[in-house]
Amino acid sequence: MINHVMIGTNDIERSKAFYNAVLGTLGAGEPMVHENDTGQTRLFYMHGGHTFSVSEPINGEPATPANGSTIGFACENAEKVKELHDVAIANGGTSIEDPPGPREGSMGVMHLSYFLDPDGHKICGFCRG
């Protein structure tokens, strides 16, 4: 259903270093870097048929995180959920909510980790079982 997700950043080089490390744990390589006609730089991470993008805002206003939003990255196992979190924290992210680990709910057991990227976007590592 979703083709891509794009978030804004106030420091494209900081975001590139952060997401290269974090998404590298999931197998994503270097992003495609694109500068649009009005001079904003965008990063496109493509992996497994999905695209995650980071962009300098095209309207010239500061980038802000969306209140109430979470971007979830699928992980292959519980160890990868924790690794994603730990790499994020080691590269400038902020751990939030409960420590990485299993959560039991109406959908069964899920392994989750939550952190904020350097611009304050809420990110989740996720796997079932």
Each residue's pLDDT expressed in tens, for the chain with a length of 129 residues: 789 999 999 999 999 999 999 999 999 999 999 999 999 999 999 999 999 999 999 999 999 999 999 999 999 999 999 999 999 999 999 999 999 999 998 889 999 999 999 999 999 999 998
Please, are residues 109 and 127 in contact by the beta-carbon 8 Å criterion?
A: no
Please tell me the total count of domains within the chain.
1
> Global pTM?
0.94
3-state secondary structure of 21: helix
Q: CATH no. for residue 77? A: 3.10.180.10
Rounded distance, CA 14 to CA 104, Å?
A: 35
Integer Cα distance of 26 and 79 in angstroms? 12
Residue 96 belongs to domain spanning? 4-58+66-128
